[in-house]
Amino acid sequence: MKPLFTIHGGEYLVGSYIEQNYANVKLWIPSRDTGIDLLATDSYDHCPLSIQVKFSKDWLVTHMKPEFHEPLRACGWWKINRDKLSDSPADYWVFVLLGFKRHSTDYIVMPIKELRSRLISIHGSQKKEIQCGLWVTETMKCWEARGLPVGDQRKIADGSYRDPTRNLTKWLNNWSPLSKLND
Q: What confidence tens digit (pLDDT) does each residue in 83-103 have?
A: 999 999 999 999 999 999 889
Distance CA 87, CA 104 (A): 31
Half-sphere exposure of 25 (CA within 13 A, CB side): 26
In the chain, the percentage of residues whose pLDDT exceeds 90 is 87
Q: How many beta carbons lie within 10 A of that of residue 132, not counting itself? A: 23
Map out the domains of the chain with their CATH numbers. Answer: 9-181 (3.40.1350)
Whether 46 shows a pLDDT value over 60: the answer reads: yes
Q: Is 146 helix (H, G, I), strand (E, B) or coil?
A: coil
Q: What confidence tens digit (pLDDT) does each residue in 17-40 have?
A: 999 999 999 999 998 888 999 999
Q: What confidence tens digit (pLDDT) does each residue in 102-111 have?
A: 899 999 999 9
Predicted pLDDT of residue 1: 47
Whether 53 shows a pLDDT value over 90: the answer reads: yes
Encoded amino acid at 97, one letter: L
Task: Give me the helices (H) in the chain, please.
Answer: 9-21, 60-63, 82-87, 112-123, 150-158, 176-181
**Residue 110: what are its φ and ψ, rounded to 5°?**
-115, 135
Q: What is the pTM of this model?
A: 0.94
Predicted pLDDT of residue 2: 53
Closest CA to 97 of 6, 38, 9: 9
Whether 129 shows a pLDDT value over 70: the answer reads: yes
